[in-house]
Every structure is written in C-alpha cells, then in structure tokens.
Amino acid sequence: MSINKNYAVFGLGRYGIAVAEELVKNGAEVLAVDIDRENVDNAAKTIPVCKCADITRPEVIKRLGISNIDVVIVAMASNLEASVMAITLCKEAGVKTVIVKCGNEMHQMIFTRIGADKVIFPEKESGTRLAKNLLTSGFAEMIELSDEVSMVELDVKDEWVGKTLIELDLRKKYSINVVAVREDDKISTTVDPTLPLKKGSQLIVIANTAKLQKLK
C-alpha cells in the first residue's frame, strides 16, 4: 500500500473522516461513503469525493466501482451487520486489502473469519495514524515518536545491497538516521557503517515523517 494506490472509506464518523482527511492531505485518491447525508455533507468540506450510499447493497458496491479500489477502510464499528456486509461484498468484488474498525474482540474474530485483512481497535490506533501507516507502507513497521518524527523499519533496497552506509549517505539523501540493522530476525544496535548491506536485511531508522515518501 502506498500513496500510489486508491482508497475507499466506508463510514464518515470522526474516525472515518480522520483517515480520509489524512490520506487526501497526502495526495491519495479517496472515495468517502456514508449512508447518512449529514455525515456526507460534513465530510465534503475537506474530502473531494464523497458519496451518500448504502454499501451493504451489492448493486451499490458495483456502481461505486469498488472492484477498482486497492484498499477499503470500513469504519462502522457501531454497526456489526453493515460492517460484515461491507467486508463480504468488498472481498467478492476483488478488493485486495480490507481494513476494519472494530469495537470488541468478538467482532474482531467475526471480521477476521469473513476475510478482513486487518482489524483496528480505535482506542489503540487513531484514524490519522492508520492513514500515515498506509501511506508509508512498504516499510515493515512505523512508530510515531512525535507529529514530525517516526521510527521506521524498512527493507534494504536492491540497489543498496553490497554498499555500505558510508557509500549510501542516507542521512544526506533522505534525512534519516540508521539506529539498528535486522538480519535473520536478529537486531544489532551496533551499526558498522563500513560493512556492506545484505539482501533481505532491514534497517531501523529515525526519520522525518514528511520525508519518508522519498524512500519510495
């Protein structure tokens, strides 16, 4: 997942709007959908493409072109039936990644069994953080240290293999600081900048969140 993919957000409460707004702010294509006209009108102030529709109906999913969407975020935790239908219809339409907002562990089990690729508990992960993680994916993991700085685990790129950190000069090119290297599930915090990087390894870095897209 990345900014080059397109997204749909079902459910425009506070969480859904937060996800959609962050994605739009970073240049992603977003289709925002809710059955409540008031929610849609409110979201339309900051989200360019908003639709008032019932996403539990197969003909609506088809009409909205959901089969062409890369990632669907179902943000309707208070409506179990609608969430279940949305997940099912999206998967039937061929959506590769469906992420679902969840209210409790029982619902998590249900959503996972019917095909949800990831289940989010709102109290653990904000909508803004989810959007940032989607936009910066391609990284194995991202942890926000502040609004501007994140710790990220990223795969060693093919063009980096066999080169040293001194040769790559990642700090100058990407404004990132390498703090550890993971090889074969072993993490070393003693980073030798003169050793060639190996294929399949990961770098754990601290970086300016806004500049992470340079690493794409």
Q: What is the mean pLDDT of residues 136-158?
A: 68
pLDDT value at residue 134? 64
Q: What is the mean pLDDT of residues 43-51?
A: 96
Quick one: pLDDT band at residue 35, thresholds 50, 70, 90? very high
Q: What is the mean pLDDT of residues 62-87?
A: 93
Percent of the chain with pLDDT over 70: 83
HEC secondary structure over the chain: CCCCCEEEEECCCHHHHHHHHHHHHCCCEEEEEECCHHHHHHHCCCCCCEEECCCCCHHHHHHCCHHHCCEEEECCCCCHHHHHHHHHHHHHCCCCEEEEECCCHHHHHHHHHCCCCEEECCCCCCHHHHHHHHHCECEEEEEECCCCEEEEEEECCHHHCCCCHHHHCHHHHHCEEEEEEEECCEEECCCCCCCCCCCCCEEEEEEEHHHHHHHC
More confident residue, 178 or 50: 50
Domain ranges of the chain: 6-135, 139-215
Fold for the domain defined by 139-215:
Alpha-Beta Plaits (3.30.70)
More confident residue, 189 or 32: 32
What backbone phi and psi angles, to 5 degrees, belong to 188? Answer: -115, 120
CATH architecture of 6-135: 3-Layer(aba) Sandwich (3.40)
Q: What is the mean pLDDT of residues 57-74?
A: 96
pLDDT value at residue 1? 41
Segment 113-142, tens digit of pLDDT: 989 998 887 654 555 666 666 665 555 456
Quick one: pLDDT band at residue 27, thresholds 50, 70, 90? confident
More confident residue, 66 or 209: 66
pLDDT value at residue 72? 97
What are the residues facing 51 on neighbouring strands?
Answer: 33
For the chain, the average pLDDT equals 85
Segment 171-214, tens digit of pLDDT: 888 888 888 888 877 778 788 899 999 988 888 888 777 776 66
Sign of the CA dihedral with 155 first, then 204, 23, and 113 last: positive
pLDDT value at residue 189? 78
Residues 6+ apart with CB under 8 A from 45: none
